Amino acid sequence: MCRYDRREKGALFEPTFDDAKLVERVAGGDEDALGQLYDRFGQAIYSLCLRIVHDGATAEELTQEVFVRLWRSAASFQPARGRVSTWLLRIAHNLALNELRRRQSRPVVAPDADWEATSAGLADTSDESDPARAAGIRERADAVQRALAQLPVPQRHAIELAFFGGLSQSEVAAAQGEPLGTVKSRIRVGMQRLRELLVAAGVDGVDEVG
Amino acid sequence: MQNKHIDDLVDAYVLGALEEDEVDAVDRHLDECILCRELVLQAQQSAELLLYAAPEVAPPPSLRSRVLARIAEEKATMKHSSLPPREDSERHRTEPEPQIGSALPRSPLRRLLQALRSAPAPAGQVDAMLRDLLANPQCVVWQVTGTDVAPGAYARLIASPGSPSGVLVASGLRHPGAGNAYQVWLLRGGQPLPNALFNINRVGIGVSIVRADEPWHDFDTLAVTPEPEGGSLAPTGPIVLVGSLVEQAS
């Protein structure tokens, strides 16, 4: 995304300690631990990949690749730098955007009601015994999705086209048929509003992880 | 740009939505401006939460078993390609021993240990390995220096000719960028082979365990590049550190 990073802040929901322990076991060659991490985060990773590449078979391949990379580089994970889920999702995001660029076919259609209709109801998020729910990732996802849904549609679409479509502001402007200045403003104001909503939802805390 | 704050670009920057020339200009400004760096860190927090914003879609149930089958393959491949213990290796017994590492100077050793203590790496594992290596009279040290991209950086690779694992201690590196880590490459016949990933601490020090699936002297060069987290199969970033594995540190 950019050169400057930070230590991740703000863990409201996740028992990150358990996740980090699982990664430590994966680093030691424990396949069962990797299976448990799949149970916790496999669906979120697959969903993110699918959101970006819009193709189930490719999303499955990318999900596999994320876990292969976890297997190979688990020893490099540093709990102090953030959550396991964010680490894995960031790998998935990078891989999926690379795949998009490789294909040189970007989804320049607006992120849309069609997508939401397609995905609605496919995942049952009500099961309390679900490992992903136990890991807190569902609550986090729900809170972020709710905050995003409260943004005015043009702002949300501009942010989504940039983040999930890998588009620059100029490309977003072309996709939305708006002047570049309008898109810049939508992204800036939209992200500011998103921050406020996330803080109000308690997702944007201040505690260091680890 | 370098003297002008970049608050109006921060959000597009963390979303990856700036043009390349804008990114370069922002990076140059951030190198000098603590205030804007803090703004970026805050914006990054919100941007990373977007990773969770994809509507949930259940993957096919068979994906789990395919993932685990792929990992089992990886595990089998790693076992197959790893070096046998030295005493079982005819090839290792017949190789001439590289010069012993008694030349490891006292002050660099002290610096290495200091670096290790302040590094964010899997310190327990590295610490034990480094102690073993330094206790081994056959320990060798290779110098790795920063390229034009990272002129202040340097590193040392400490290894024993009989062991497939060595420790790389790097200093003076800049942060590799959000979503990136540094990756080590061992070059054989000019061909880069992917190796360990590592991150650095706040003062630019990183420590990593480097594994060689062939004797060390089969490799001619070690290089380090920034790569997407999780690593790459072939280098995609600029080389920041490079060193010959033919010559040892004096």
Predicted confidence (pLDDT) per residue in B120-157, tens digit = 445 556 666 766 776 676 778 888 888 888 888 888 88
Q: How far is A76 from chain B (nearest CA, A)?
A: 6
* Contact flag A94-B228 (C-beta cutoff 8 Å): yes
Residue A66 has pLDDT above 70, yes or no: yes
Question: Which one has a higher pLDDT value, B82 or A156?
Answer: A156
pLDDT in tens, B51-66: 999 998 999 999 999 9
- Which pLDDT does position A152 carry in this prediction? 95
- Tell me which H or E stretch contains B72: helix B62-81
- Which pLDDT does position A193 carry in this prediction? 94
- Co-location of B38 and B105 in the same domain: no
- Tell me which H or E stretch contains B80: helix B62-81
Other Cβ atoms within 10 Å of B244 Cβ, number: 15
Residue B160 has pLDDT above 50, yes or no: yes
- Which pLDDT does position B68 carry in this prediction? 95
Residue B177 forms part of a structural domain: yes
- Which pLDDT does position B52 carry in this prediction? 92
| Full DSSP string of B192-205 | EEEEEEE---TTS-
Q: Which amino acid is at A72?
A: R
Question: Which one has a higher pLDDT value, A68 or B151?
Answer: A68
- Which pLDDT does position A166 carry in this prediction? 86
- The CATH code of the domain that includes B181 is 2.60.40
* Contact flag A38-B55 (C-beta cutoff 8 Å): no
pLDDT in tens, A106-165: 444 434 433 343 333 334 444 545 666 655 788 888 899 999 999 999 999 999 999 998
| DSSP for residue A79 | G
- Co-location of B20 and B142 in the same domain: no
| Least confident interval from A7-11, B40-44, B235-239 | A7-11
| Least confident interval from A13-27, A55-69, B1-15 | A13-27
- Co-location of B36 and B104 in the same domain: no
Question: Which one has a higher pLDDT value, B84 or A143?
Answer: A143
Q: How far is A179 from chain B (nearest CA, A)?
A: 15
Q: Which segments of chain B are extended strands (E)?
A: 140-146, 154-159, 165-171, 180-188, 191-198, 206-211, 221-228, 241-244
- Co-location of B114 and B184 in the same domain: yes
ipTM of the complex in this document: 0.81
- Co-location of B173 and B232 in the same domain: yes
**Averaged pLDDT score across all residues of chain B:** 75
Q: How far is B58 from chain A (nearest CA, A)?
A: 5
- Co-location of B15 and B118 in the same domain: no
CB B98 within 8 A of CB B140: yes
Residue B69 forms part of a structural domain: no
Residue B113 has pLDDT above 80, yes or no: no
Residue B212 has pLDDT above 50, yes or no: yes
**Close Cβ partners of A161 (under 8 Å, ≥ 6 residues apart):** A108, A110, A111, A167, A171, A172, A175, A176
* For chain B, the helix, strand and coil percentages under 3-state DSSP, each to the nearest 5: 40, 20, 40
* Contact flag B56-A119 (C-beta cutoff 8 Å): yes
- Which pLDDT does position B121 carry in this prediction? 44
| Least confident interval from A167-171, B9-13, B117-121 | B117-121
Q: Work out the percent of chain A whose per-residue pLDDT is above 90.
A: 46
3-state DSSP assignment of residue B155:
strand
Q: Which of B8, B68, B175 sits opposite A31 (nearest CB)?
A: B68
Q: Which of B63, B66, B177 sits opposite A2 (nearest CB)?
A: B177
Residues from chain A contacting residue B197 (CB–CB below 8 Å): 73, 76
**Close Cβ partners of B154 (under 8 Å, ≥ 6 residues apart):** B143, B144, B145, B146, B170, B171, B172, B241
- Which pLDDT does position A64 carry in this prediction? 96
Residue B58 forms part of a structural domain: no
Q: What's the CA gap between B116 and A118, in Å, rounded? A: 51
| DSSP for residue A11 | -
Residue A210 tokens read as: 């680890």
- Which pLDDT does position A1 carry in this prediction? 46
Residue A59 sits at φ, ψ, to 5 deg, of -60, -35
- Co-location of B44 and B105 in the same domain: no
Q: Which of A5, A69, A159 sits opposite B231 (nearest CB)?
A: A69
How many separate domains does chain B show? Answer: 2
Other Cβ atoms within 10 Å of A171 Cβ, number: 18
- Co-location of B40 and B109 in the same domain: no
pLDDT in tens, A72-88: 888 888 777 788 999 99
CB B171 within 8 A of CB B221: no
Task: For residue B214, give its domain range.
Answer: 97-244
Q: How far is A44 from chain B (nearest CA, A)?
A: 6
Q: Work out the percent of chain B whose per-residue pLDDT is above 70.
A: 74
Q: What's the CA gap between B143 and B162, in Å, rounded? A: 19
The CATH code of the domain at A16-110 is: 1.10.1740.10
- Which pLDDT does position A204 carry in this prediction? 60
CB B106 within 8 A of CB B141: no
Residue-range domain boundaries for chain A: 16-110
**Close Cβ partners of B62 (under 8 Å, ≥ 6 residues apart):** none
Q: pLDDT band for position B174 (50/70/90)?
A: confident
3-state DSSP assignment of residue A208:
strand
Residue B104 forms part of a structural domain: yes
